[in-house]
Structure 1
Amino acid sequence: MISLEQVRQIYQQPLTALVFEAQSWHRQYHEPDAVQLCTLANIKSGNCPEDCKYCPQSARYETEVENYGLLPLDDVIEQAQAAKANGSSRFCMGAAWRKVPDGVQFEQVLEMVRQVVDLGMEACVTLGMLRPDQAVKLAEAGLTAYNHNLDTSARFYPEIITTRTYQDRLETIKAVAAAGIEVCCGGIVGMGETDLDRIELIHTLANLDPQPKSVPINALVPVEGTPFGDLPILDPLVLVRTIATTRIAIPKATVRLSAGRRSMSLAEQALCFLAGANSIFTGDRLLTTPNPGLDADAQMLEQLGLISQKSEVRSQKLR
């Protein structure tokens, strides 16, 4: 257990001291120069009934997002094979659902999971709210991780979403953990929240039982047509501070530098790695928002002297 005051003290340190402490923790549990490459595929896009103010896939907003139903199995596996060929060791599949549907579509997702695992990749899905019995079926299919972000603090959450409660999210996370699936849970910064909201989010994440093994930290990408479409781009040092605090509070987790990299310079991304981030999502798009392409990421890793870490190496490292 870590107290809110402890997280606050960590977060509010001078940035140089904070990053130094984060890097010290990072080196205790992770290869210092290794970054896991992941790919996130949008397997069902748009027409979501939720009202998340940041999300262009909500049916409530007029955006340019393409709407389509669940992709055919062969299309998804083809994407997974391409991701593996391009260096990704983790393939994540996202579907814009409020909750996981029963029936044919869920059976199709289960088969996607099985075939991704058969490729020798880590398989992760993010499908919305999940019941315990559905979590068990995903575990039986071999799912590595289930992503379900808390997004922000419990206090600020109603300003972001009204169609699903914070407790709803915690219940899904509980079901995932009970099924023995790795919890992937993080948040988004740059939505108008305060430092205290970021501190409270990290405090909540750090006190989940068990702690999440994967923590994606996203910077808001404002999308025209959403309520947050006009918000300014986040100060990257706020992202660095959030990543560093997360690394200290949840030292064994893979901290994923997720959405928002397209607007960041090489130096800003390097500072995020120094602060403890050790995973990125590759490819031209991250669900619906722009992302640096494969060539840009390969060049970045080369310039920084970082290596791509395979899932087999990770599993041996974390035993």
Structure 2
Amino acid sequence: MTAIKNDWTPEEIREIYFKPLIELVFEAATVHRKFHNPQKVQIASLLSIKTGGCPEDCAYCPQAARYQTDVDVNKLLDLDTVIGAAQKAKEAGASRFCMGAAWREVRDNRDFDKVLEMVTEVKKMDMEVCCTLGMLTDSQARKLKEAGCKAYNHNIDTSEDYYGEIISTRKYDDRLNTLNHVMDAGITVCSGGIIGMGETDEDRIGLLHTLATLKKHPESVPINKLVRIKGTPLADQEEVPMESMVRMVATARILMPQSMVRLSAGRKEMSTAEQFICFMAGANSIHSGEKLLTTPTANFEEDLEMLKSFGLSPLQANLE
């Protein structure tokens, strides 16, 4: 059995990341089969429960108030709308329902109370509940846990060295502090990053190093491919080559064997063959539905058909 390591060095990660691609994929596939059923894929659905108007300046995000994009600002959705969306996602095959709000941080107010109610009601539907609401305090994380939140998404986006090129309105340590609050509350961590933002391979290695040396590996590691949105500072970045996505997926699988490695944003732009190679390399989770917050993604019907053609099927919810 491959040992779980939390003391990876950058040099060790670099050696894995730069292996010949065919060898890297084979090694990752071997590790994957030791820890997971290779025929099962978790399907998660992500709903934007409060859209746009965010005060942050994340260079990739169309929800930042300072950028001129096609995203409209909307207030927090009502409970019935959220429950209806969760029910639709469940019927389509999703086992995890994620709720995202374009907040810099959670505030202790009526909106947060409403989110806690949403979490409780979705949990009653026998779905795994995930939230992504921005920065959290320790007490807020514990309230989410009590309400039934299983996972919390808070991506670190890129390496610590490159972080300031992408975001100036918060620090890297702010991200890590929230992850620590989430872990201390007993909520599983969903944290990954985005490639294609102008970073180098060394930055990608740095991103993976941060995740793989947390005190506990994230339960989910989303690998996002930049979706280039008109009006954002990164709109004119070059397309991410398939090899880069495969290297990130495979290296993440080897470093964090027990984690779910998720093909997330940007999957709409990937061909079926490209996605197949990522599944071979250890990806075992996808976001599905009409949108990933505000950006297009593949719909449930297309995804179920694709998975079936690969001999894969949806993973059932883990409600423990």
| TM, length-normalised to structure 2 | 0.97
SS of 2:37 mapped into structure 1: coil
How many angstroms does 1:79 deviate by?
A: 0.4
| TM, length-normalised to structure 1 | 0.97
1:262 — aligned with what? 268
- Of the three residues 22, 39, 63, the one matched with 2:28 is 22
Note the residue ranges of structure 1 that are not aligned, 5 or more in a row: none
- Of the three residues 4, 13, 31, the one matched with 2:37 is 31
Cα shift readout 1:254-282 (whole Å, capped 9, x = no counterpart): 01100111111110000010111001111
User: Counterpart amino acid of 2:246?
Assistant: V
1:153 — aligned with what? 159
- Of the three residues 290, 298, 305, the one matched with 1:299 is 305
Cα shift readout 1:52-89 (whole Å, capped 9, x = no counterpart): 00000000100001210110011001100110000000
- Of the three residues 106, 109, 113, the one matched with 1:103 is 109
2:3 — aligned with what? none
- Answer yes or no: is the 8 Å Cα contact 2:93–2:300 preserved in 1: no
Count matched residues. 314
User: Counterpart amino acid of 1:276?
Assistant: G
Following the alignment from structure 2 to structure 1, what is the Cα–Cα distance between the partners of residues 280 and 41?
A: 11
How many angstroms does 1:104 deviate by?
A: 0.5
Following the alignment from structure 1 to structure 2, what is the Cα–Cα distance between the partners of residues 292 and 142?
A: 28
Following the alignment from structure 1 to structure 2, what is the Cα–Cα distance between the partners of residues 22 and 139?
A: 33
How many angstroms does 1:304 deviate by?
A: 0.9
Following the alignment from structure 1 to structure 2, what is the Cα–Cα distance between the partners of residues 44 and 236?
A: 32
How many angstroms does 1:295 deviate by?
A: 2.2
Alignment of 1:1-319 (within 5 A): 1-312=7-318
Following the alignment from structure 2 to structure 1, what is the Cα–Cα distance between the partners of residues 270 and 219?
A: 25
SS of 2:245 mapped into structure 1: helix
SS of 1:311 mapped into structure 2: coil
Cα shift readout 1:165-217 (whole Å, capped 9, x = no counterpart): 00000000010001010011100011111100000110110000111111111
Q: Percent identity of the aligned residues?
A: 55
- Answer yes or no: is the 8 Å Cα contact 1:221–1:233 preserved in 2: no
Following the alignment from structure 2 to structure 1, what is the Cα–Cα distance between the partners of residues 61 and 12?
A: 32
SS of 1:227 mapped into structure 2: coil
User: Counterpart amino acid of 1:113?
Assistant: V
Following the alignment from structure 2 to structure 1, what is the Cα–Cα distance between the partners of residues 36 and 210?
A: 23
- Answer yes or no: is the 8 Å Cα contact 1:182–1:212 preserved in 2: yes
Following the alignment from structure 2 to structure 1, what is the Cα–Cα distance between the partners of residues 258 and 74?
A: 37
How many angstroms does 1:303 deviate by?
A: 1.4
SS of 1:180 mapped into structure 2: coil
How many angstroms does 1:302 deviate by?
A: 1.7
Per mean C-alpha deviation after superposition, the further-off stretch among 118-127 and 301-310 is 301-310
User: Counterpart amino acid of 2:31?
Assistant: W
- Answer yes or no: is the 8 Å Cα contact 2:92–2:301 preserved in 1: no
Cα shift readout 1:81-133 (whole Å, capped 9, x = no counterpart): 11000000000000000000211111100011101110000000000000001
What CA RMSD, in Å, does the superposition of the two structures yield over aligned residues?
0.9
Following the alignment from structure 1 to structure 2, what is the Cα–Cα distance between the partners of residues 37 and 295?
A: 12
Following the alignment from structure 1 to structure 2, what is the Cα–Cα distance between the partners of residues 205 and 10?
A: 15
Following the alignment from structure 2 to structure 1, what is the Cα–Cα distance between the partners of residues 300 and 212?
A: 32
